[in-house]
Every structure is written in structure tokens, then in C-alpha cells.
Amino acid sequence: MLGNKHILLQFSNTMKDGVSMGGPRIRSIGLAVPPYALRQDDIKVFAAALFQKKMDNLARLLPVFDNACIAVRHLAQPLEWYAEPHTFAETNQLYEKIGLELAEEASRQALEQAEIACEDIGAIIFVSSTGIATPSLDAKLIQRLGLSAHTIRIPIWGLGCAGGVAGLARAAEMAAVSPGRTVLMVAMELCSLTFQRNDFSKSNLVGAGIFADGAAAVVLSMDGDGPEVLGSQTTLFADTEDVMGWDVVETGLKVRFSRDIPSIVRRYLSDLLNQACERWGVARADIRHYVAHPGGAKVIDAYAESLGLSPETFASAYNILENYGNMSSASVLFVLQRLLMTGSPSGDYGVMLALGPGFSSDQVLFRW
């Protein structure tokens, strides 16, 4: 049984019924993807050709591409690039260059939609786990966007797929404790650059079957319209470092999957949400919106089964998975943006859900 430790993070605004009143607002969401849009069928053919003489069980594993429920993914490089050997230094240079471009594009969209001047941004939260940079990319992004040299910088690395929800929670906390400060939160991932052409493990093939690239940016402040962020919870499971993460090898970051993540979701998610709702003072039956990180079709299925909800409840997550794949931390913000674009505000509660390395679970409560 997984042991767990809970850390509850809740905003300190005026409280009523266990949740904050007048919480930070999500003013806008900007999205960006690289130009190489590739069909899942073509990526499957590519992977089969690349690994056919290297993996004895390839025929048994290739259906992961078909069962992923993905039609299209956007990658940082053309498909043939992934067939060639590359050093960690080479791929990381691309991570910095292309990642900064996508982060800038998403950020400019978000700022324009929110009608926020660049000089009004007081803090930036930058989330990413698929490359390294020191100084972190937020330093360059501040200068690209023309933000104040006094902008508070909080780079977050290593949260993987949970980073979008966790980063949004940290951004909302920053906005809540500094009412006059507008916060820009950016999640940028280039998962495809971590592909290891000489890694013939199941984990690498699974990663090749679902991971993609993209960036999302969110503007939050204490004023304006948009979903109101009310609280958050993060849970770290003890002694579960092996569930997912990176192994650092000569050629870069090698993906690690060693347990059945959907089974973990089915076993623990319902109790985790019950605990969060109790602490927030919100009845679980009052939650109407579910924004889940689309980690894979089986993971989304497990969310629905664990919470006793219909698959249609997670329609936005399935849609983003189908059209973009798993972009790690950025994906859940694509899901949130789709919910906002396809629905109408009703004043109901919603929850954002994601899992990531640690092994950990992150949840954000909002009202929209």
C-alpha cells in the first residue's frame, strides 16, 4: 500500500464555508504548439521501423499507439530528426531555443486577451521539466516580453505532469498575498526532445506513443472576470520515486515508468478528493467541472471510474489528448482553456486534477 503525506494549501482571504471568498481570477489562457503536426499513424510507422530489429516484443507493444486515443501531436522537430543520434547538449540547446519561443507566444496571447500591459506583471511562475537552463528561461522571457526588471521569478522544475496544476496553485497564492500584483504563470514542455532512440525499453516506447510538445500561459489577478481559484491540495506518496520520472543518461533524460498508474488512480483518487473537499468545506456532489490532466486514455478512464463519473465528464481532457497528446505540465491548461471556450459560467465549483513525479497528486478548487 502506498503511504502518503498530505500538504494542504489554502488561500488566506476572507473565508466562508471553508473556501476563500474573493480569490484570484484566471484572466486569460494563451496556448502555443510547435509547427510539426504529425499524425499518430505516421509516428507509429516511424517507431516500428526504428525499433523493428531491436525489440523482440515490438509487435505486442505497438498497439500502445492505437490505444492512446491520439490523432495528432505537435513536435519540436520533423520526424526524421528523431531517427538520428543527438547529444544531451544538442537537445538541450533546442529545448532552450524552441521552448523560449513557445513560452513567449503563449504569454503574449494571454497578456493580449487579458488586456494587461507587460509592465503590470509583478511575478512570473515558470514550470518545466523537459530540459535544464541556468539562468532559468523565465529570465530570458522577462526580457523578451519587456516585463519589469523587478518582476519576481519563481521557476519550478521536476513536477512533470503535475506541474500545470501545482504551478497554477502557486501563482494563485502569489496573487492572493499581493492583491496589487498580476501574476503570469507559464508551463512549457518539449517532451519529444527526451526521446531516446537507443532505449529499447517499454517505457521509452510508451513515451514515444503519447508525449508531445507545447506551452500554455495564464494571467491571474485579484480583479477581473474568469474562474475564481479558491484553494489547492498536494499529496506526496512516500517511497514512490520509481513510479515516474527521469533517469539522467549520457544522451539526456530517459523516461521512467515502473508501476500501473491507472491502478493507483483507481485506488486512491476518490479518497484524496474526499479529503480535499472536507478541508475546503465543499460537498463533492457540488463539483460540476472536472479538469484532468490527459496523461493517457487509460488514465482518464481511471479518473472517471475512481470518481464514479461518466466519461463525458472528462470530454475536454479526451479532446485535448486526441488533438495534442500528452504535453506534460502544459496539457491540463489546454483542457481548462477548452472548458472555458465550450462552456458558460454558472457559478459552480470545479476541480483540476493531475499526477506527477514524487509520486504526487495535485488538485485545485475553482468556481466558474
pLDDT band at 256 (very low <50, low <70, confident <90, very high): confident
Give the three cell numbers for residue 339.
472548458
- Taken in order 220, 222, 225, 230, is the CA torsion positive or negative? positive
**CB-hemisphere CA count at 13 Å for 20?**
22
pLDDT per position as a tens digit, 203-253: 788 888 899 999 999 999 998 889 999 999 999 988 887 888 888 888 888
Query: Would you say 40 and 72 are in contact if contact means Cβ atoms under 8 Å apart?
Result: yes
Tell me what the mean pLDDT of segment 140-149 comes to. Answer: 96
pLDDT per position as a tens digit, 34-65: 999 999 999 999 988 888 877 777 888 888 89
**Chain-wide mean pLDDT for the chain?**
89
pLDDT(8) > 80: no
**CB-hemisphere CA count at 13 Å for 344?**
1
Tell me what the mean pLDDT of segment 102-118 comes to. Answer: 95
More confident residue, 247 or 340: 340
Q: Given the residues 69, 118, 161, 277, select the one marked as catalytic.
A: 161
Tell me what the mean pLDDT of segment 17-30 comes to. Answer: 77
* Antiparallel, parallel or unpaired: β 121-127 and 152-156: parallel
**% residues pLDDT > 70 (the chain):** 94
CA pair distance 321, 68, nearest whole angstrom = 8
CA pair distance 219, 240, nearest whole angstrom = 33
Predicted local distance difference test score (pLDDT) of residue 40: 95
pLDDT(11) > 50: no
277 in active site:
no
- Taken in order 93, 97, 102, 108, is the CA torsion positive or negative? positive
The torsion of the CA quartet 359, 273, 368, 16, rounded to 10 degrees, works out to: -120
Tell me what the mean pLDDT of segment 150-170 comes to. Answer: 95
CA pair distance 331, 340, nearest whole angstrom = 15
pLDDT band at 13 (very low <50, low <70, confident <90, very high): very low
Query: Would you say 210 and 68 are in contact if contact means Cβ atoms under 8 Å apart?
Result: yes
pTM here?
0.90
Query: Would you say 300 and 314 are in contact if contact means Cβ atoms under 8 Å apart?
Result: yes
